[in-house]
Structure 1
Amino acid sequence: MNPAAGMLRIVVGLGTRAVDRPDDDYPRLVAMDYPLLRPQSCMDNIRQFSQRFMDVLNIPQNTLEPISINRYLAEKPDWNVDLYAVEDEEAARRMKQLDMEGTPSWIMTFDRLLTETDFVPLMRRLMDTLQRIYDYPVDIEFTYNQATGRPGQLNLLQCRPLQTRGFGARVQIPDSLPAEQILFQSQGGFMGGCIAQPIDRIILIDPSAYIQLSQQEKYDVARLVGKLNRQICNRDKDTTLLMGPGRWGTSTPSLGVPVRFSEISQISVLCEISYPGGNLMPELSYGSHFFQDLVEEDIFYIALFCEKPDVVLHIHLLQGRENLLRELFPDAQKYQHVVYVYDMRHQNLMLMADVLSQKLVCFFKTA
């Protein structure tokens, strides 16, 4: 894929689910040069990482309202659903086995929209024209309506220069590092350009301990992260890696740590770790407002999907090191089994990533 070709986040309904980081489903990410290419390898994954709700305006009550797409389709069968979705054959098979009757269940793929309409060529023309006029990459918001038997109608709502960091100079990733030196390693799953950065401090939220907390305690952990963030006076001299389960900044504590962006603004590297045991999964939210905040604050982002064969995570290499949380905040002793703060200034810990090879590794350098 060519990054210069651009990408889209598309949803049905209002665009709030495209620009925000929805907690209950996912937009469709579209690479403009390979529109049908997707990271999911099977229909189970496509189903899991697809849009299930859409935001609409409730006119009588003057409110924004999320509704189930399948419920809407059951009530509005005249909608041209085949253009945006495929029938969930697995759900239909289960209903048949249970001798149940019901309306079809749909999975939002957008595949026919991307292949059988003028949507993709039109978006390419629009984005190429705007970038040429601005002489700079652009970030746009738009609507597209495709009525049956009629040409699609595209409306441009917003256009602004896209804040970008660029690739930076290529980084030569060391080959064949011993396992005992690798804290984590991944093929892809990062944003922020090429990097070769020593790590001075690690703040780690232990996934197994976090999922045992009550909802209020999870909010307490988020506020504690904010306190640790405020202690960072100079990001360049105190490079901090923040690691935790699921999505940082979620509004749903069961999906990750519900920090506000101001509570991670001094972090240099933000890492989201998958933890299937608690249904906690990262989301690489390209194009969202959260992503733009990371870019503008120059925060390097990492998503570690630990169930993937090319991802290595050796948290045990941190065990046995002194947890500084009690020293920094004696009143937070209750959470010292959840929140770990490690001083790595003399440990030769290095984070390296190369965009072109899509290699990422965080490792302990030998003298």
Structure 2
Amino acid sequence: MELGASDRVQEDKLARYFSWDPLKDARFSGSVVGEGHIGGKGRSLLFGMKVLRDSGDEELASVEMPESIFISVEVFEEFLEQIKDLNDIIKSDPDEIEKVFLAYELPPYVRQRLASFLSEVNFPVAVRSSSLLEDSLKYSFAGKYRSRLLHAEGDLARRTLLVENEIKRIYARTFFPTAVEYRCKHGLGDDKMGIILMRAAGEWRGRYYFPTTAGVGYSLNLRRWSTRLKAEDGLIRLVFGLGTMSTRRGYARIFSLTNPCLRPEGYNPYNVMRHAQECFQMIDGIKGDVVTYNINDPGVLDYLWKYYGKELGEYVQVYREEDEKGYWENLDLTYSKYNVDDTSKVCITFERFTKHNYDFFKRMRKLLGCLEHSIGAPVDVEFAYEPKAKKLELLQARPLWVESQTVNLDDANLIGKTIILKADRMVTDGQAKGIPYLIYVDHKIYVTATNKYEIARIIGEINKKLGPNQYILVAPGRVGSSNPALGVPIQYNELTNCKCIVEVGIPTLGFMPELSYGTHFYSDLEVDNVLYMPVFAGEKDNVFNEDWFESTPCERLPGLGIRIYKGNFDVYMSCAKNVGIVVAGEDERNGKDMDNR
């Protein structure tokens, strides 16, 4: 098929992006250690900084990148040459691989460069992977390798050794089963590892180091929660504290960059409270590692007020219950009266931040648009932002893989089929027909289950028994949550044969789906073309057909709340209409044991 003019322009831009070499740019070459490629994550970040500095826009040119050095993949190869019997060692278990790698040293010139960097940057640092395959347009490798935030007190030699060991641990991860299986699954070969050593974004606030806000941003929003939004508006996922919370399936604030006050969860105080961030992360200067606190923990609000004062009210509100209804109160100078009791909860809602920082949202939209225009593809970024100083730091920038198919729901063949699930928001284009199995987690059993992790592992075992694209998973709350109270804590590698995930919101039980843009879980869904949609039980234009689930024959796993339905299921999703449906057709296999399939 002949390419159109706009397609050729996009291809030319992508070609320039992939061929750009930071070693040939005097502004960046001095930060590279070794020769050759610095890996995808490092090269794309430097390309992003090049684009912003060359943009001619003062707001964009003022975006900063924390002090960094980039260690090339040549150093990785040089390191591996020392290891005897490498081919046998990499077949060992992960602990043994790491133990062997830690026993060898990095080249002397690299260790000297690490010491030089750390002597100038006496702050917490991020040690991040940057492999060759992370330069792929399609494969994100999110969460497959290792990145670490840390802080070391003591003399320079001790700090250097700590960072050197982290680099060797990242090298070892290249050969861990998780990464090897991911590469094999997608037909990718061996990988080579570069490293980014970067000052961690943030400031010291007493004992702890963290940025006020951080998050991820996307130039394209394919999961719109309102017809008032357009895909090209873009979105960000923002958290208070370290941005590590924004890449997990915890709560974060989702903003459309053209309409930041439009919440995906709506404006009901209870629903906002259920979606609001409570836990945040900081680097502990004494422990030297990342720590997690809940803002409702004793003493935490006092600590934050000490360093933020009235500014804290930009991010934090107090939720109170009264007569079975909830309402919000803002923090003010007499915040001490808001002691948390059984009827109140402190939440990070970003309510006032949203109203007082429209310039930030405009700046982020401009930044994402500039990068997309220059790269020739949609982009995603990681960033940190200090609102008071208006200091924006770019931590990562890369092309965003988008694969979509046009679906016309009017053409969907629904004759003789039953709609069992329907969503009215946050759906992309996609369809899947003839799926033979549906795995359902009963919310009534799951909510009181004491074996939630066992439930997740059992689903993983069922997954192994089924072939590719063989089932739909329907579960309450957020699938893959690190907090089992919020949803089934299943790992993505336990869902390798899943074709569609449906998260069911049951607000009365505390189960709420959440737009997972920016998380490692979401990145894997996109790469593997796994369909996803949230269904909000009881809400207008949503369908959770409990009658079907209760009356249809199935295989039930006692005590686990897991049901396995056999049938003929179709999924249709339309981004233009913001509608997704799952339908069930007649099938004679219903009620038969899965092992006899």
Q: What is the TM-score normalised by the length of structure 2? A: 0.51
1:2 aligns with 2:230: yes
Conserved? CA contact 2:240–2:348, under 8 Å: no
1:340 aligns with 2:571: no
Q: Trace 1:154-169 onto structure 2 (pairs within 5 A).
A: 154-166=392-404, 168-169=405-406
Q: Secondary structure at the match of 2:240?
A: coil
| Correspondence 1:133 to 2:374 | yes
Asked if residue 56 in structure 1 is aligned to residue 282 in structure 2, the reply is yes
Report deviation, 1:92: 5.5
Structure 2 CA distance for aligned equivalents of residues 230 and 55 of structure 1 = 35
Alignment of 1:321-332 (within 5 A): 321-324=552-555
Match in the other structure for 1:108: 349
Summarize the Cα distance change of 1:280–1:146 in structure 2 as closer, same or farther, 3 Å threshold.
closer
Match of 1:212 among 434, 448, 457: 448
Residues matched between the structures, number: 337
1:31 to 248, 256, 263: 256
CA distance in 2, matches of 1:212, 1:46: 23
Displacement, 1:62? 0.9
Query: 1:324, 1:342 within 8 Å by CA — same for their partners in 2?
Result: yes
1:193 to partner: Cα distance: 1.9
Decide whether aligned partners of structure 1 residues 308 and 262 sit closer, same or farther in structure 2, where only a CA change above 3 A counts: same
Label 1:311 to 1:13 Cα distance change in 2 as closer, same or farther (>3 A). same
Structure 1 portions without partners, runs of 5+:
94-99, 326-332
Report whether the alignment pairs 1:182 with 2:408.
Answer: no
Sort the Cα spacing of 1:320 and 1:44 in 2 relative to 1 into closer, same or farther, 3 A: closer
Q: Distance in 2 between matches of 1:208 and 1:87?
A: 30
Give secondary structure in 2 for the equivalent of 1:268. Answer: strand
The residue matched to 1:253 in structure 2 has which SS?
coil
- Equivalence for 1:250: 481
Paired with 2:447 and 2:271, the residues of 1 have a C-alpha distance of 23
Greater C-alpha Rg: 2
- C-alpha separation in 2, matches of 1:179 and 1:280: 32
Percent of matched pairs sharing the same residue? 25
Deviations 1:133-176 (A, max 9, x none): 211111110111123xx5x111111111112223x21312479x
Give the counterpart letter for 1:42 in structure 2: N
Question: Where does 1:165-314 land on structure 2 (aligned, <5 Å)?
Answer: 165-166=403-404, 168-173=405-410, 181-190=418-427, 192-195=428-431, 197-214=433-450, 217-235=451-469, 238=470, 240-314=471-545
CA spacing shift, 1:218–1:344, aligned 2, 3 Å: same
Are positions 1:146 and 2:387 aligned together? yes
**Per the alignment, in what secondary structure is the counterpart of residue 511 of structure 2?**
coil
Structure showing the higher helix proportion among its residues? 2
**Secondary structure, in 3 states, of the residue corresponding to 2:429?**
coil
Q: Distance in 2 between matches of 1:324 and 1:121?
A: 52
Instruction: Quickly say closer, same or farther: Cα 1:221–1:29, change in 2 above 3 A.
Output: same
**How big is the shift at 1:102?**
4.4
Are the structure 2 counterparts of residues 366 and 211 from structure 1 closer, same or farther at C-alpha, using a change threshold of 3 Å?
Answer: closer
**1:49 to partner: Cα distance:** 1.9
Partner amino acid for 1:118?
Answer: D
Amino acid at match of 2:462: L
The equivalent of 1:330 in structure 2 is none
Deviation, 1:297, is 1.5
Cα deviation for residue 182 of structure 1 reads 2.0
Instruction: Give a deviation string over 1:211-242, Cα, whole Å, max 9, x none.
Output: 3322xx2222211111111122332xx3x111
Contact 2:421 2:545 in 1 (8 A): yes
How much has 1:114 moved relative to structure 2?
Answer: 5.7
Distance 1:136 1:180, change over 3 A: closer
Change (3 A) 1:106 1:241: closer
How far does residue 278 in structure 1 lie from its aligned partner after superposition? Answer: 3.1
**Counterpart for residue 363 of structure 2:** 122
1:364 Cα deviation from its structure 2 partner: 3.9
Distance 2:563 2:337 in 1: 52
The verdict on how the C-alpha distance between 1:313 and 1:11 changes in structure 2, with shifts beyond 3 A counting, is: same
Deviation at 1:318, TM superposition (A): 4.0
Alpha-carbon distance in 2 for matches of 1:86, 1:279: 20
Q: Is the 8 A contact 1:88 1:107 kept in 2?
A: no
CA distance in 2, matches of 1:5, 1:184: 28
CA contact (8 A) 2:430 2:531 kept: no
CA distance in 2, matches of 1:62, 1:116: 33
